[in-house]
Structure formats: C-alpha cells, structure tokens
Amino acid sequence: MIATAPVIEPMAARHIDIVRAIDAKCYSSPWGAATWRNELADKTRFHVVARLGDEIIGHAGLLIVLDEIHVTTVAVHPDHQGAGHATRMVLRLLEHARAIGGGSATLEVRTAARRTQRIYARFGFQPAGIRQGYYANPSDDAIIMWLHELQSPEIGERLATVRRDLGAPVEGDLT
C-alpha cells in the first residue's frame, strides 16, 4: 500500500510541458508538443495524469481501435517510481477500457523492464510475442503482451483485487 495516493485525472493541454519533462527523464525519444496536442484532440486516445498535490508525477494513455485497447504510454517521474503510481494509472486505463466496451488490451514492454512486466502481469497481461529491435537508446526487444476478455467477470475481479491491494479508491472522475 502506498502512503499517499495520487489523484488520477484526465490529461489536458496545460499538462503537456510537465509530461514532456517527465518523458525526457524516462524515454530516449519522447514525444514532441505537437504530438501531444494531436493525442489530446483525438477521440480514439485517452490520457491521464497522476497528481500529488499540485505536482504532476506521471501519465499514462491508450489508443482505442474498434474494441481493442493499446496501452501507448505509462511514465512516472524517477523520483516517484516504485510507489504504486504506475499501477494506479494502468488500473484507471483498464477501468476506462471496460467502461467503453473494450474487448482486449495490448502493449509492448522492454525485455529488460522486469518490474514493468510484473505490473502488467498483475492485471493479467500475458506475453504473446517479441518485436525484435523495437526500442532504441538503449537497443532492446519488446515483449508484446495481451489481456483478453476485458469484459469478463474474472478480469473485473482482478481489477477489484488490484484496487483493494492499493488500499483506497482511485480518485478523479474520468467518465
């Protein structure tokens, strides 16, 4: 359980600069401001930020393609990693995916990112393949992970278990 739970809220244009600053610490090829503006304007995208007080400490997003959900980004500022914030954001993404009728979810994760793989496995994501050379700086393969049957009672209970394990409801209205 984490001591201080962030508020998870929809990302807005006012968050772009801080999200880009977080990405500069987390990713070798962060998205530019124009890409973020396009992401926020596109109805097939859904992005959230994690806020502790007035400080944005992370963000996460997804792409909706028919009934498939693609988790596109999850980043937590290095000073706040390891406290469950990424788990809270992924939980909110998957709850949103279920609310809009998503049938399955997919993502790519670095083969070297063992902790991140464990976060996704907690939700039921399973490895389904490898994309060789997917990442650069440093070079790494990507594990393709899938979570099927998002609407099933089993996935609903898994999400409820993660929510209970976090110790408190995730705050913020994303509907």
Give the domain CATH number at 88: 3.40.630.30
Structural domains of the chain, count: 1
Does the structure show a pLDDT above 90 at 29? no
Q: Is residue 87 in a domain?
A: yes
Q: Is residue 2 in a domain?
A: no
CB 59 within 8 A of CB 19: yes
Report the distance separating Cα 109 and Cα 127, nearest Å: 10
Confidence of residue 172 (pLDDT cuts 50, 70, 90): very low
Q: Which range is least confidently modeled, 100-104, 133-137, 152-156? A: 133-137
Does the structure show a pLDDT above 70 at 169? no
Q: Is residue 22 in a domain?
A: yes
| pLDDT score of 168 | 58
Q: Which range is least confidently modeled, 25-39, 65-79, 87-101, 159-173? A: 159-173
Does the structure show a pLDDT above 50 at 174? no
Domain hosting 105: range is: 7-166
Rg (CA), the chain: 15
Q: Is residue 173 in a domain?
A: no
Q: Is residue 144 in a domain?
A: yes
Q: Is residue 171 in a domain?
A: no
Mean pLDDT computed over 83-89: 94
Does the pTM exceed 0.75?
yes
Q: Is residue 175 in a domain?
A: no
Q: Is residue 1 in a domain?
A: no
What percent of the chain has a predicted confidence (pLDDT) above 90?
Answer: 84
| pLDDT score of 133 | 87
Query: SS3 for 157?
Result: helix
Report the distance separating Cα 132 and Cα 168, nearest Å: 39
Mean pLDDT computed over 152-159: 96
